[in-house]
Amino acid sequence: MNPEEFAAALARFDVVLSAEQQAQFAEYYSYLVAENQKMNLTAITAEGDVYLKHFYDSVTPLLEFPELWTTTVTLCDVGAGAGFPSLPMKILNPHLEVTIVDSLQKRIDFLERLCQRLHLDGVHLVHARAEEFGRKQSPDRESFGLVTARAVAALDVLAELCLPLVQLGGKFIAMKGAQGANELAQADKAIKILGGHVVADRALTLPVEEAPRHLVVIDKVVRTPKKYPRKPGTPAKQPIGGQ
Protein backbone atom coordinates (compact mmCIF):
# COMPACT_ATOMS: atom_id res chain seq x y z
CA MET A 1 0.00 0.00 0.00
CA ASN A 2 1.75 3.14 -1.18
CA PRO A 3 0.79 6.61 0.12
CA GLU A 4 -1.66 7.16 -2.75
CA GLU A 5 -3.37 3.82 -2.09
CA PHE A 6 -3.48 4.67 1.62
CA ALA A 7 -5.29 7.93 0.86
CA ALA A 8 -7.68 6.15 -1.51
CA ALA A 9 -8.49 3.49 1.11
CA LEU A 10 -9.35 6.19 3.65
CA ALA A 11 -11.46 8.04 1.08
CA ARG A 12 -13.70 4.99 0.82
CA PHE A 13 -14.71 5.82 4.40
CA ASP A 14 -15.22 9.49 3.46
CA VAL A 15 -11.95 10.41 5.18
CA VAL A 16 -10.05 12.79 2.90
CA LEU A 17 -6.44 13.48 3.80
CA SER A 18 -5.28 17.07 3.57
CA ALA A 19 -1.90 17.90 2.08
CA GLU A 20 -0.64 18.55 5.61
CA GLN A 21 -1.79 15.13 6.82
CA GLN A 22 -0.19 13.41 3.83
CA ALA A 23 3.05 15.21 4.66
CA GLN A 24 2.79 14.15 8.32
CA PHE A 25 2.44 10.49 7.39
CA ALA A 26 5.36 10.79 4.96
CA GLU A 27 7.55 12.38 7.64
CA TYR A 28 6.41 9.77 10.18
CA TYR A 29 7.56 7.01 7.83
CA SER A 30 10.90 8.66 7.03
CA TYR A 31 11.75 9.37 10.65
CA LEU A 32 10.61 5.92 11.84
CA VAL A 33 12.90 4.18 9.34
CA ALA A 34 15.83 6.49 10.12
CA GLU A 35 15.54 6.02 13.89
CA ASN A 36 14.94 2.30 13.51
CA GLN A 37 18.55 1.97 12.40
CA LYS A 38 19.62 3.20 15.84
CA MET A 39 17.05 1.43 18.02
CA ASN A 40 14.59 -1.43 17.65
CA LEU A 41 11.25 0.23 16.92
CA THR A 42 9.72 -2.05 14.30
CA ALA A 43 10.53 -5.08 12.17
CA ILE A 44 8.38 -3.57 9.41
CA THR A 45 10.27 -0.98 7.38
CA ALA A 46 9.21 -1.22 3.71
CA GLU A 47 7.09 1.79 2.82
CA GLY A 48 4.12 -0.24 1.58
CA ASP A 49 4.12 -2.43 4.68
CA VAL A 50 4.35 0.53 7.08
CA TYR A 51 1.45 2.31 5.39
CA LEU A 52 -0.67 -0.85 5.48
CA LYS A 53 0.35 -2.70 8.64
CA HIS A 54 1.09 0.31 10.84
CA PHE A 55 -0.69 3.41 9.54
CA TYR A 56 -3.87 1.91 8.08
CA ASP A 57 -4.16 -0.76 10.74
CA SER A 58 -3.81 1.88 13.46
CA VAL A 59 -6.67 4.05 12.21
CA THR A 60 -9.24 1.26 11.79
CA PRO A 61 -11.02 2.22 15.05
CA LEU A 62 -11.73 5.67 13.57
CA LEU A 63 -12.97 4.09 10.34
CA GLU A 64 -15.17 1.52 12.05
CA PHE A 65 -16.57 3.68 14.88
CA PRO A 66 -17.45 7.20 13.68
CA GLU A 67 -18.32 8.32 17.21
CA LEU A 68 -14.58 8.48 17.93
CA TRP A 69 -14.37 11.65 15.84
CA THR A 70 -15.97 13.63 18.63
CA THR A 71 -13.89 16.48 20.03
CA THR A 72 -14.30 15.22 23.61
CA VAL A 73 -12.39 11.93 23.38
CA THR A 74 -9.40 11.53 25.70
CA LEU A 75 -7.33 8.59 24.46
CA CYS A 76 -4.77 6.58 26.41
CA ASP A 77 -2.56 4.27 24.36
CA VAL A 78 -0.94 1.54 26.45
CA GLY A 79 2.40 0.20 25.21
CA ALA A 80 2.38 2.30 22.05
CA GLY A 81 5.95 1.44 21.07
CA ALA A 82 6.62 3.53 17.97
CA GLY A 83 3.31 5.37 18.39
CA PHE A 84 0.79 2.83 17.15
CA PRO A 85 -2.18 3.12 17.08
CA SER A 86 -2.55 6.53 18.74
CA LEU A 87 -0.36 8.81 16.62
CA PRO A 88 -1.84 7.83 13.23
CA MET A 89 -5.27 8.31 14.86
CA LYS A 90 -4.13 11.72 16.13
CA ILE A 91 -2.99 12.75 12.66
CA LEU A 92 -6.40 11.84 11.24
CA ASN A 93 -8.34 13.39 14.11
CA PRO A 94 -6.34 16.29 15.63
CA HIS A 95 -9.06 16.81 18.26
CA LEU A 96 -8.03 13.65 20.13
CA GLU A 97 -6.25 14.33 23.41
CA VAL A 98 -3.65 11.55 23.53
CA THR A 99 -1.68 10.07 26.41
CA ILE A 100 0.91 7.43 25.55
CA VAL A 101 2.24 5.10 28.25
CA ASP A 102 5.36 3.08 27.53
CA SER A 103 7.82 1.30 29.81
CA LEU A 104 10.96 2.15 27.81
CA GLN A 105 12.42 5.64 28.14
CA LYS A 106 14.19 5.57 24.78
CA ARG A 107 10.86 4.95 23.03
CA ILE A 108 9.33 7.87 24.92
CA ASP A 109 12.27 10.02 23.81
CA PHE A 110 11.72 8.93 20.19
CA LEU A 111 8.01 9.75 20.42
CA GLU A 112 8.78 13.19 21.84
CA ARG A 113 11.07 13.97 18.91
CA LEU A 114 8.52 12.54 16.47
CA CYS A 115 5.68 14.66 17.83
CA GLN A 116 7.83 17.76 17.47
CA ARG A 117 8.64 16.90 13.86
CA LEU A 118 4.97 16.25 13.09
CA HIS A 119 3.83 19.41 14.95
CA LEU A 120 1.38 17.41 17.06
CA ASP A 121 -0.16 19.20 20.03
CA GLY A 122 -2.14 17.52 22.79
CA VAL A 123 0.09 14.44 23.08
CA HIS A 124 1.29 13.53 26.59
CA LEU A 125 4.11 11.00 26.96
CA VAL A 126 4.49 8.97 30.14
CA HIS A 127 7.37 6.67 31.01
CA ALA A 128 5.76 4.03 33.22
CA ARG A 129 4.66 0.44 33.47
CA ALA A 130 0.94 0.20 32.77
CA GLU A 131 0.43 -1.58 36.10
CA GLU A 132 1.88 1.40 37.94
CA PHE A 133 0.09 4.00 35.83
CA GLY A 134 -3.31 2.50 36.67
CA ARG A 135 -2.84 1.82 40.39
CA LYS A 136 -5.43 3.05 42.88
CA GLN A 137 -3.29 6.01 44.00
CA SER A 138 -2.68 7.21 40.43
CA PRO A 139 -4.55 10.39 39.39
CA ASP A 140 -4.88 8.89 35.90
CA ARG A 141 -6.83 5.86 37.08
CA GLU A 142 -10.32 5.69 35.51
CA SER A 143 -9.80 9.05 33.80
CA PHE A 144 -9.84 8.25 30.06
CA GLY A 145 -12.80 8.07 27.73
CA LEU A 146 -11.00 5.64 25.43
CA VAL A 147 -8.08 3.29 26.01
CA THR A 148 -6.40 1.42 23.17
CA ALA A 149 -3.70 -1.22 22.89
CA ARG A 150 -2.22 -2.97 19.89
CA ALA A 151 0.18 -5.93 19.82
CA VAL A 152 0.93 -5.71 23.55
CA ALA A 153 -0.34 -8.90 25.24
CA ALA A 154 -3.10 -11.50 25.26
CA LEU A 155 -6.51 -10.02 26.00
CA ASP A 156 -6.87 -11.52 29.49
CA VAL A 157 -3.60 -9.78 30.44
CA LEU A 158 -4.37 -6.64 28.47
CA ALA A 159 -7.70 -6.17 30.22
CA GLU A 160 -5.94 -5.81 33.58
CA LEU A 161 -3.53 -3.24 32.16
CA CYS A 162 -6.16 -1.16 30.36
CA LEU A 163 -9.58 -1.36 32.03
CA PRO A 164 -8.39 0.32 35.28
CA LEU A 165 -7.62 3.40 33.16
CA VAL A 166 -11.07 3.64 31.53
CA GLN A 167 -13.59 6.00 33.12
CA LEU A 168 -17.11 4.80 33.84
CA GLY A 169 -19.02 4.97 30.58
CA GLY A 170 -15.79 4.92 28.57
CA LYS A 171 -14.44 2.26 26.22
CA PHE A 172 -11.47 -0.02 25.86
CA ILE A 173 -10.70 -1.06 22.27
CA ALA A 174 -8.29 -3.97 21.96
CA MET A 175 -6.82 -4.31 18.48
CA LYS A 176 -6.31 -7.97 17.71
CA GLY A 177 -5.34 -10.26 14.84
CA ALA A 178 -6.71 -13.59 13.70
CA GLN A 179 -6.87 -15.01 17.24
CA GLY A 180 -9.07 -12.19 18.53
CA ALA A 181 -12.16 -14.34 19.01
CA ASN A 182 -10.23 -17.03 20.89
CA GLU A 183 -8.57 -14.45 23.14
CA LEU A 184 -11.93 -12.89 23.86
CA ALA A 185 -13.36 -16.20 25.05
CA GLN A 186 -10.38 -16.73 27.37
CA ALA A 187 -10.63 -13.19 28.74
CA ASP A 188 -14.33 -13.26 29.63
CA LYS A 189 -13.78 -13.74 33.38
CA ALA A 190 -11.09 -11.05 33.61
CA ILE A 191 -13.16 -8.50 31.71
CA LYS A 192 -16.14 -8.94 34.03
CA ILE A 193 -14.05 -8.81 37.21
CA LEU A 194 -12.36 -5.62 36.03
CA GLY A 195 -15.66 -3.83 35.37
CA GLY A 196 -15.97 -4.33 31.64
CA HIS A 197 -18.75 -5.49 29.35
CA VAL A 198 -18.03 -6.62 25.78
CA VAL A 199 -20.26 -4.75 23.34
CA ALA A 200 -18.65 -5.63 20.00
CA ASP A 201 -16.12 -7.86 18.30
CA ARG A 202 -15.77 -6.17 14.92
CA ALA A 203 -14.09 -8.49 12.43
CA LEU A 204 -12.43 -6.85 9.43
CA THR A 205 -9.65 -7.45 6.94
CA LEU A 206 -6.82 -5.18 5.94
CA PRO A 207 -6.90 -4.22 2.26
CA VAL A 208 -4.33 -5.60 -0.21
CA GLU A 209 -3.34 -8.71 1.73
CA GLU A 210 -6.75 -9.42 3.33
CA ALA A 211 -5.21 -10.05 6.74
CA PRO A 212 -7.86 -10.64 9.47
CA ARG A 213 -8.25 -8.17 12.32
CA HIS A 214 -10.57 -7.89 15.33
CA LEU A 215 -11.55 -4.73 17.16
CA VAL A 216 -12.83 -5.84 20.55
CA VAL A 217 -14.88 -3.08 22.16
CA ILE A 218 -15.43 -3.20 25.92
CA ASP A 219 -17.56 -0.70 27.82
CA LYS A 220 -16.58 0.23 31.39
CA VAL A 221 -19.77 -0.43 33.36
CA VAL A 222 -18.47 -0.90 36.94
CA ARG A 223 -15.46 0.58 38.71
CA THR A 224 -12.40 -1.66 38.72
CA PRO A 225 -11.70 -3.23 42.15
CA LYS A 226 -8.89 -1.36 43.89
CA LYS A 227 -6.56 -4.37 43.97
CA TYR A 228 -6.20 -4.23 40.19
CA PRO A 229 -3.91 -3.86 38.40
CA ARG A 230 -1.57 -6.00 40.44
CA LYS A 231 2.16 -5.33 40.74
CA PRO A 232 4.24 -5.19 37.53
CA GLY A 233 4.71 -8.57 35.88
CA THR A 234 1.95 -10.34 37.79
CA PRO A 235 -0.83 -9.95 35.17
CA ALA A 236 1.32 -11.64 32.52
CA LYS A 237 2.45 -14.44 34.84
CA GLN A 238 -0.92 -15.04 36.50
CA PRO A 239 -3.79 -13.86 34.25
CA ILE A 240 -7.07 -13.35 36.10
CA GLY A 241 -8.81 -16.00 34.04
CA GLY A 242 -6.29 -18.57 35.20
CA GLN A 243 -6.75 -17.87 38.90
Binding residue numbers: 79, 84, 130-131, 150
Percentage of the chain exceeding pLDDT 90: 76
Binding residue numbers for S-adenosyl-L-methionine: 79, 84, 130-131, 150
Residue 242 confidence class, pLDDT cut points 50, 70, 90 = low
243 has a pLDDT exceeding 70: no
Sheet containing 144-150, strands listed edge to edge, beginning at the edge strand earlier in sequence: 123-127, 97-102, 74-78, 144-150, 166-176, 212-220, 196-205
The count of structural domains within the chain is 1
Residue of 151 and 113 predicted with greater confidence: 113
**Within-domain flag for 21:** no
Residue 153 confidence class, pLDDT cut points 50, 70, 90 = confident
Instruction: Give the 3-state secondary structure of residue 217.
Output: strand
Range of the domain at 187: 55-242
Q: Whole-number mean pLDDT of the chain?
A: 92
- pTM metric for this prediction: 0.93
Helices vs. strands in the chain: H and E counts, helices first: 11, 7
For position 159, which CATH number holds?
A: 3.40.50.150
123 has a pLDDT exceeding 80: yes
**Within-domain flag for 191:** yes
**Within-domain flag for 59:** yes
Average pLDDT, stretch 41-52? 93
CA distance 6 to 12: 10
Average pLDDT, stretch 92-106? 94
**Within-domain flag for 28:** no
Under 8 Å CB-to-CB from 138, ≥6 apart: which residues? Answer: 132
Residue 182 confidence class, pLDDT cut points 50, 70, 90 = confident
End-to-end CA distance of the chain: 43
25 has a pLDDT exceeding 70: yes
Residue 8 confidence class, pLDDT cut points 50, 70, 90 = very high
CA distance 164 to 144: 10
**Within-domain flag for 167:** yes
Picking from 75, 59, 240, 74, the residue whose alpha carbon sits closest to that of residue 159 is 240
**Within-domain flag for 16:** no
